[in-house]
A and B are shown apart, each in its own frame.
Chain A
Amino acid sequence: MATETVKDTKKQVIELNDELWNELIEASDGAVAMCYQCGTCSAICPWEFIKLDSSYNIRKIIRNAQCDIYDNQEVWQCTTCGQCEVSCPHGVPIVKIIQTLKNYAFKNREAPEEFNSVFWALFWDGNPYKLPPSNRGAWTKNGALSEYNDKNEFLVYFGNEYSFEQRSIKTARALLSLFKKAGVSFGALGEKEACLGSVAKEIGHAAYFDEIKDERTKTFEELSVETIVTISPHDYDIIKNDYEISAKVKHVLEVIKDLIDSGRLKLSREVNRTVAYHDPCYLGRRNDIYDLPRDILKAVPGINLVEFPNTRDNALCCGGGGGRMWLETPPEERFSNQRLKEAADIEVNSIITSCPYCVINFEDSAKYLKMKDCQVLEVIELVNMAAE
């Protein structure tokens, strides 16, 4: 048996990456060390449903990190849905770990180039769609949006989708109609509105997100606004959990619930449908908002609300988070297909949700799966249909 004499006993055989490990420890408050490699996360991850033996293996990613092996190839698959965290027996903040690994890739210039055009769009135009910032209020046509002033009840932060994306603009119009019916006085930022940075943060570019956050914080503080109402759960999550501003932050569903409870909004028109509510990851798992949308839906006369088998903190992610809205996913691999199939299984053809990414993805899947009768609506739209 040949043996090799190791001349220099101080020579390391594996390159240990202390820098990365220290970052992970800091980011997770030490919890990354708690992973004992049970593999529950990998088993429950939606990728495993999409492709058996998926190359995306959370257990392996964390194992590599624990052994200081830096292998970032697969982290870009993560949609930050958090399903893994729900089942992890040791409460490891898996999503945070994945995001730290993504950020590490950005710092070392090893991130996928596909994100460059999104970043530049955010940088030059304040939105990921490369649309002129001066067009942000254009969807309101006849100036139905007024600029925020301190006599308004609150400021509505519309966000990228509700300002620029065709399908989401329909929901935004329904919201305007709803507010009008309830006599709500609100204002918006108009052209001054710009992306809050959830796009950058979810993609994993922490430094760019910090720059965006600083700029937007200035805008909010200058306005000295009391209450900010957000519509997209991604905007809600980031401004509630990552921004440090003096204003109170509410999700639009909270406002709608108040309007219904106080009688300002009268839901008198019947909407006779059987609907199933889909919990968006950024409202449900990430912010524990499960009952609020259901309570609102139950107040709509004629509604028959049923539950998906995979519901609440087991909701099936639509695949849009983590920056994946800006990446190409082959149609047969889209997470949203799973939810559509489930809807077909329980014979429900109205999916109600409260997130623009979910709506876009479910409508795309309905087209792909040729499910012509399946309709996807937001809670806002349904409430507007019922309101007089």
Chain B
Amino acid sequence: MPKNKLHRLKAKYTPAEAKGMFVYLEHSEGKLADVSLELISKAKEITNGESIYGMLFGHKVNNLAEESIRSGLDEVYVIDDKHLLNYTPEAFTRCAEAIVEKYKPDTILIGATQNGCDMAGRLAVRLQTGLTAHITGLEVDEDGELVGWVPGFGGGIAAACKCPRHRPQLISVRPGVFLAGKEVKQSDGKIHNEPVPFSATDIKTEIVERKVLAIDNISKADRIVVVGRGTDGDLGIAEELAEIIGGKVGGTRVALDEGWIGREQMIGQTGYSTKPNLAVLCGISGATQFTIGIDKADLILAINNDEEAPIFEQADLCVVDDLFDIVPALTKIVKNQISG
């Protein structure tokens, strides 16, 4: 192993020398990522009025820096360069390292998006520090230390993790775990433009092709009408109901295999995890590989002809009837209530 990579054994700096909670700001296609706004909000809440900071790397991103200030950050450190237009591990990790070296953050909150995780994993080793990953909860314990809850074992068990001595402590957070706050219209936040800490030859990753996917996947939908085997591919009534309730159509593995839905609509173990306010399950029996993608819904309404279908154990409202009768009837009522 390269000798110069054998870093100092001790932490880069102690908690006493560290300053402040930082949020790593992620952006895509000209917008700040939702998760970054969620993290700003959480940072504000958990630090109880102390100053909170951001780090932002990109090209021509001043407007995003301003948006992050309006969302609650007190200061933002920006590195702007054309080589930061798209994420590469080398450039972004180096930028984060440079900010850390200069400003010695205590904590860095990172959204657990794919690129966020990509960078966080490399950065943790670069900085020889701890990374508490994919947390679903964050609190301060009686010693005043941050504790992150990390789920494991298929989501069945969560572990409380701390990083007592090493700084910065890196914490990655799943999108949607925290709520984004409203803009506070802070006008006295500071934007610092930092020097570019790398040269073009440091970047090893060449992006040959990049395609932005037009369709949003089902994971963010707030209301979902899910189609299963019982619909027999007849999606019309599901689509009508979805439209009238302002929701999207999702499907099970069966629906994908039969070609009734696309991959971005599939819910379940090998598909997307969802957290909708309302889920209407049409003709779904309730296999575990599906239900683990929907069981965090606030309310589950299941419609199935078969009284013994296991799905009914996992539903709040259970309708044992023909979905081809119930779904249109429900659509009709909702339509009337909205217009009436």
Contacts and interface: CB of A to CB of B under 8 A. Distances in A.
Interface of A: 130-132, 135, 166, 169-170, 173, 367
Contacts of A367: 232
Nearest to A138: B310
B41 interface: no
Contact of A130 (B232, B289, B308, B309): B289
B135 to A, nearest CB: 26
B219 interface: no
B265 interface: no
A367 B324 CA distance: 15
Interface string B202-239: 00000000000000000000000000000010000000
B14 interface: no
Interface string B263-301: 000000000000000000000010111000000000000
Contact of A169 (B232, B288, B289, B308): B308
A131 B288 contact: yes
Q: 10 nearest interchain CB pairs?
A: A166-B285, A170-B308, A367-B232, A131-B288, A166-B309, A130-B289, A135-B288, A132-B288, A173-B308, A169-B308
The secondary structure that dominates the A interface is helix
A169 B309 CA distance: 10
Contacts, number: 14
Contacts of A131: 287-289
The residue among A130, A131, A166, A169 with the most chain B CB atoms within 10 A of its own CB is: A166
Contacts of A166: 285, 306, 309-310
State which size class the interface on B falls in.
Answer: under 10
A380 to B, nearest CB: 15
Contacts of A132: 288
Interface string B160-187: 0000000000000000000000000000
Contacts of B288: 131-132, 135
Contacts of B308: 169-170, 173
A324 B232 CA distance: 22
A17 B287 CA distance: 47
A166 B287 CA distance: 9
A132 to B, nearest CB: 7
A98 to B, nearest CB: 28
B243 to A, nearest CB: 27
B168 to A, nearest CB: 40
A283 to B, nearest CB: 26
Contacts of B306: 166
Q: Which of B232, B306, B308 has the most CB of A within 10 A?
A: B308
A378 to B, nearest CB: 15
Contacts of B310: 166
A375 to B, nearest CB: 13
Contacts of A135: 288
A105 B287 CA distance: 34
Given A166-B306, A170-B308, A173-B308, 11 more contacts: A130-B289, A131-B287, A131-B288, A131-B289, A132-B288, A135-B288, A166-B285, A166-B309, A166-B310, A169-B308, A367-B232
Nearest to B313: A141
B147 to A, nearest CB: 31
Contacts of A130: 289
A170 B285 CA distance: 13
Contacts of A170: 308
Contacts of B285: 166
14 contacts: A130-B289, A131-B287, A131-B288, A131-B289, A132-B288, A135-B288, A166-B285, A166-B306, A166-B309, A166-B310, A169-B308, A170-B308, A173-B308, A367-B232
Contacts of B232: 367
A169 B288 CA distance: 15
Contacts of A169: 308
Nearest to B287: A131
Contacts of B309: 166
Interface string B299-335: 0000000101110000000000000000000000000
